[in-house]
């Protein structure tokens, strides 16, 4: 079960990196205020997803060492 969770956490990290890259590229190539707000939301969301997925991976890895 932990290996499935680990896989989905890694997938979430990969998705978050895509979101963060999208936000960075959008911020660099756009000057429309409403779009910049959107890219800020995307950046924030991608960062939160990555942070939470990394926490869960650490918990999973710590639990596997206990078994």
* pLDDT, position 65: 63
Q: What is the pLDDT of residues 7-48, one digit of tens each?
A: 999 999 999 999 999 999 999 999 999 999 999 999 999 999
- Average pLDDT, integer, range 61-65: 79
Degrees (nearest 5) of the Cα angle 14, 50, 24?
75
Dihedral sign computed on CA atoms, order 51, 56, 60, 62: positive
- Picking from 24, 64, 31, 65, the residue whose alpha carbon sits closest to that of residue 47 is 24
Under 8 Å between Cβ of 46 and 16 = yes
- Average pLDDT, integer, range 52-58: 97
Predicted structure pTM score: 0.86
pLDDT band at 2, cuts 50/70/90? Answer: confident
Q: Which residues contact 44 (CB under 8 A, 6 or more apart)?
A: none
């Amino acid at each position: 079960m932990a290996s499935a969770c680990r896989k989905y956490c890694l997938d979430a990290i990969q998705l978050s990196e895509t979101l963060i890259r999208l936000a960075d590229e959008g911020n660099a190539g756009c000057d429309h205020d409403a779009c910049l707000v959107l890219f800020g939301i995307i950046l924030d969301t991608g960062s939160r997803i990555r942070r939470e997925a990394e926490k869960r991976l650490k918990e999973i890895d710590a639990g596997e060492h206990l078994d």
